[in-house]
Amino acid sequence: MKVVSYFRLHELRWTIADSDIDALRARFPGVTFTSVEEDAALTAELADADVFLGWNFPPKLFAAASRLRWVHSASAGIEANLFPALVESDVILTNSAGLHSVCIPEHVLGLMLLLARNFHEAQRLQREQVWDRARVIMFAGGVKELAGSHLAVIGAGAIGTSVARLGNSLNMLVRVMRRRSSRPVPGAERVVGPDHLHELLGWGDFVVLATPLTAETRHLIDRTALQAMKSSAYLINIARGEVVDDEALIDALRSQAIAGAGLDVFSEEPLSSTSPYWSLPNVIVTPHVSGYTPGYFAKMLALFADNLERLVRGTALRNVVNKRLGYVEQ
């Protein structure tokens, strides 16, 4: 069996440390591990690969990888791996869902606190060396307390459920939207289905997008959805940029139809220097870093190694993606 690892995501590259490769070789003596760093070498290495480990499998190389049995995504998001040839094949797709259940909810909490207390406006005043209490207190939707606020979470995977629990622990009132509304979410006072999306948006003071990107969720937050939100509400997106209609959101932010937004993901990454998001005063931009946490790579490799053990033994793998739905069914 041959495993090929290749980590390239936009402008970023990673490689598995030699010590980690050595540990995998010692644990799986019958498996060949090849770490590819240069794009030019990938085609030849994939020709006889059984397993691919990385962010995204290059679609144009799929047909030539005739021995491929399993693709493991190092991230929870797998939409780039859902190209038709892979979806239609017998190749198993797994992801790293569950490894972000601490860092991303904490990032969400940070954005909620920044927006609720208008820290972004206070930072602008600091740069200007201006003391103006009223400007901070009254900016955008006005200073808020999280306790007692309404937290609407769209999506009930590992991240969404952790956001719900965290919000509940802060005495926020929490409601969650999930595909199967009959399944409860710890910390949520109510769980609704997609048919209640606009009702939920109108209820929320903070709306957190934590849904996978699928055909059903692409541009889920469109102009009509944004019109359903309160003018005092905030939108936080740590899901995928394409879940939001950018033109509609930018218009809503400019017109103050909503109070503001905390955005970590974007339809095009890196975010263009000409994007209006950079200059909108009621927006906090972070460069897709909510999923970063110390030790993540080690945890991801441990999950992969456990699944490789299962593959070798012929038992069921963890985190198998339903390729038709586009996510791991909970």
User: Could you read off the pLDDT of 249-265 as tens digits, one per residue?
Assistant: 999 999 999 999 999 99
* Same domain for 133 and 239: yes
Residue at 325 is within a domain: no
Half-sphere exposure at residue 224, Cβ-oriented, CA atoms within 13 angstroms: 5
pLDDT digits (tens, 9 = 90+) for 204-220: 999 999 999 999 999 99
**Domain shared by 125 and 83, yes or no:** no
Catalytic residue among 100, 107, 178, 288: 288
Q: Which pLDDT value is given to residue 11?
A: 63
Residue 203 inside a domain? The answer is: yes
Residue 180 known to be catalytic? no
Same domain as 114, residue 26: no
pLDDT of 38 strictly over 90: no
Give the range of the structural domain holding residue 263, as residue numbers without chain letter: 103-285
Alpha-helical segments (H) within the chain? 18-27, 39-46, 84-88, 103-116, 119-128, 133-138, 158-169, 197-203, 223-228, 246-254, 296-313
Nearest by Cα to 258 from 241, 282, 240, 222:
282
**238 and 95 housed in the same domain:** no
Whether residues 130 and 261 share a domain: the answer is yes
Apex CA 325: angle with CA 85 and CA 186, to 5°? Answer: 145
Nearest alpha carbon to residue 92 among 62, 63, 66, 72? 72
Residue 320 covered by a domain: no
Query: CATH number of the domain that 94 lies in?
Result: 3.40.50.720
Verify that 74 and 118 share a domain, yes or no.
no
107 lies in the same domain as 255: yes
More confident residue, 141 or 28: 28
Decide if 126 is inside a domain.
yes
Catalytic, 309? Answer: no
Q: What is the pLDDT of residue 10?
A: 67
The residue among 88, 7, 46, 71 whose CA lies nearest residue 317 is 71
Q: Is 240 noted as a catalytic residue in this protein?
A: yes
Instruction: Give the pLDDT band of residue 295 (cuts 50, 70, 90).
Output: confident
Residues 29 and 80 in one domain: yes
Residue 70 shares a structural domain with residue 145: no
Convert the pLDDT of each residue in 104-138 to its tens digit. 999 999 999 999 999 999 999 999 999 999 999 99
Does any domain span residue 323? no
* pLDDT number for residue 256: 97
Domain annotation covers residue 319: no
Q: Under DSSP, is residue 75 helix (H, G, I), strand (E, B) or coil? A: coil
- Residue 324 domain-assigned? no
Residues 242 and 140 in one domain: yes
Catalytic residue from among 145, 268, 269, 329: 269
Position with higher pLDDT, 225 vs 294? 225
- Strand 260-263 versus strand 234-237 pairing type: parallel
Cβ distance 169 to 148 under 8 Å? no
